[in-house]
Structure 1
Amino acid sequence: MAPDKRMKADERRRLILDAAIEEYGRSGMHEVSTEAIAERAGVSQPYLFRLFGTKAGLITAAIKQHTDQLRERFREAAENRAPDQSPLEAMGTAYILLMEEDPNSMRCQLHTWGAASDPEIGPVARETYRDIWRDIAELSGATADEVRDFMAQGMLLTVVAALDLTEMYGDPLAVVKEF
């Protein structure tokens, strides 16, 4: 789908990053094609390089956008939770719903952590993971052990869902209620 020529630059950038998240989630850092990203976003491949410089520059920008979206989802969930729901429970539910709505979201995360040895991806992978961790701690008021357990459960849910082995885990929403 070609973007509207009157689209503002920040809207076009977001469209490109959304396309990059989708393609990166499917393929990972080394297999993702800038040609496929450009085609999905409805822009030329040279335009991607004008905006982001390199493929790694594009992917790191996409990782940051993806993380910002996840952090915002957690923030909204914690702030708008039901009175009988803990912040961790609300954020866990929001994460599970995100995985159901957008399976590439979890794959994007897995590819990011898997590419952490890449000199350009590694720093952004560590930075974004730390940002998520800090947000969860701040939004929930949880102890360090509770945040660690929450992150561990989230990682397990991500891997189980990516492998389509949900029958091994049971109902993920039931697990969230433990928080």
Structure 2
Amino acid sequence: MVRMSAEERRESVVRAAVTEFARSGYHGTSTEAIARRVGVSQPYLFRLYPNKQAMFLAAAERCLADVRRVLEEAAEGLMGEEALHAMADAYKRLIAEDPDMLLMQLQVYVAVAAAEAAGDHAFGDTVRLGWLRLWDTVHLGLGADAGGTATFLAQGMLINTLVSMGFPAGHRVWTGLRESTRQTGG
């Protein structure tokens, strides 16, 4: 049996945390469920991460970093409309192939909104930094076009919403998005 290093264990905890938080949300996920998924004890889990919030933030940061990496790789060597199409296609593939990625993004937004409403701004500050890096990735890929960046991200959020609500690809609610995408080059 090969023993994992602490860093490898931390990585397995982040992957497990993304899955558990994506499916059950911040408040609905127990650290026991994460520990069970990883195959470690809760005390060991807390040696790797000081608390549940730290695990959630690590999962949120990983989710945003993975989306950013996919977009960067898709747009590599491209600019403007070519980059836009490549990033859009890569993102659609990502959420189709990894539904937990989409669910985790939605859980992150809910958790930040709840924390902000309760007066915990530090939680949101950490997540906002990750989201700003994502915004910068899209912005640079689109040739620093602020309007194009906003449109791309807005359409991405609409896609997130429609997919999460289970609208099939041929449903009429997608029609306006397809037309809007053609007009804006998305």
TM-score category (smaller protein): 0.7 to 0.9
Confirm whether residue 125 of structure 1 aligns to residue 127 of structure 2. yes
Confirm whether residue 113 of structure 1 aligns to residue 113 of structure 2. no
CA shift, 1:142, in A, is 4.2
Mapped to 2, the partners of 1:126 and 1:89 lie a distance apart of 25
Which of structures 1 and 2 has the bigger CA Rg? 2
Structure 2 residue aligned with 1:24: 21
1:54-86 CA-partner distances (Å, limit 9, x unpaired): 1001110111112111111111111166x9x71
The correspondence for 1:63, drawn from 55, 60, 77, is 60
Which structure has more helix as a fraction of its residues?
2
Asked whether the 8 Å contact 1:74–1:91 carries over to 2, the reply is yes
CA shift, 1:99, in A, is 0.6
> SS in structure 2 opposite 1:141?
coil
Alignment root-mean-square deviation, CA:
2.4
CA shift, 1:173, in A, is 8.2
CA shift, 1:6, in A, is 1.8
> SS in structure 1 opposite 2:27?
coil
Percent identity for Structure 1 against Structure 2: 36
The correspondence for 1:91, drawn from 82, 87, 91, is 87
Confirm whether residue 140 of structure 1 aligns to residue 139 of structure 2. no
Structure 2 residue aligned with 1:41: 38
Asked whether the 8 Å contact 1:26–1:107 carries over to 2, the reply is yes
Asked whether the 8 Å contact 1:96–1:173 carries over to 2, the reply is no
Structure 2, gaps ≥5 residues long: none
**Under a length normalisation based on structure 1, what TM-score does the superposition of the two structures give?**
0.87
Amino acid at match of 2:37: R
Confirm whether residue 103 of structure 1 aligns to residue 99 of structure 2. yes
Mapped to 2, the partners of 1:152 and 1:52 lie a distance apart of 34
Aligned residues: 175
**Under a length normalisation based on structure 2, what TM-score does the superposition of the two structures give?**
0.84
CA shift, 1:44, in A, is 1.4
